[in-house]
Amino acid sequence: MSRHRLLFTKTGRAVYISHLDLMRTFQRAFARASLPLRHTEGFNPHPVMNFALPLSVGTASVCELMDFDLLAEPLPEDTEKRLNDALPEGVRVLKAYDSERRFSEIKWVCVSVRLEYDKGLPRDLTARLRALYEREEVLVPKRTKKGTADFNITPHIGALTILSQSDCALIFEARLSAQNPTLSPALLVQAIELYEPDLKPDFAAFTRLELLDGALETFR
């Protein structure tokens, strides 16, 4: 038995698959691909699968990671093809490999944020967004295990770059704290609604681009 890792994408219509449904999807895909997963022991055995940073429904990603254990050794060379043949549209395995690195090493996540405005971009949008995210304190309510508490997002924004804008959309990339604490990109939009309500977008879309360790190196 050995622990293995998948690098996979979740895009298109698949972004609306919940995390629990994604787990079930992979369980079925492994079975259809004749790749027997190891199960835990006890009264309620379940497949040994572990996702790095579960996605929120509606968020796309091109850098998802999942660890798994197989009963058979070694990892088949055609693992990617066998799984992709069994997975639904939008979920695609890019690479199957072995890794000793722990998910706890992930410190940052790079995301793309697309803000759309039906009536065109508000005046001075770019400058006002930069000014907002550069404040020393931007408090937004965040759900915790104990309820809801104010959370200052700005110390956990490592970098933010405006990439492009059109008549009705603006796209920027941000490097956000991945764990302890986790800064969801949705909180960036929530901050706009609270502090600059006239800049509130009619639609916002998020894509996870890369996972980084503490040295800002790609985590795999």
pLDDT in tens, 96-111: 999 999 999 999 999 9
pLDDT at 187 over 50: yes
**Same fold across 2-100 and 105-212:** yes
174 pLDDT above the threshold of 90: yes
pTM for the complete prediction?
A: 0.91
Q: Collect all residues with Cβ–Cβ distance below 8 Å to 135 and sequence separation of at least 6.
A: 154
For residues 110-119, average pLDDT = 97
More confident residue, 40 or 172: 172
Q: What pLDDT digit, counting tens, does each position of 122-173 carry?
A: 999 999 999 999 999 999 998 877 888 999 999 999 999 999 999 999 999 9
Lowest-pLDDT choice from 45-49, 78-82, 136-140, 174-178: 45-49
Burial (CB count <10 Å: 0-12, 13-18, 19+), residue 219: buried
**Residues 6 or more apart whose Cβ sits within 8 Å of residue 215:** none
Q: What is the pLDDT of residue 144?
A: 78
CATH 1.10.3720.10 fits 105-212, yes or no: no
Domain coordinates of the chain in residue numbers?
A: 2-100, 105-212
The CATH number that domain 2-100 falls under is: 3.30.70.580
Average pLDDT of the segment spanning 176-194: 96
What is the mean pLDDT of the segment spanning 170-193? Answer: 97
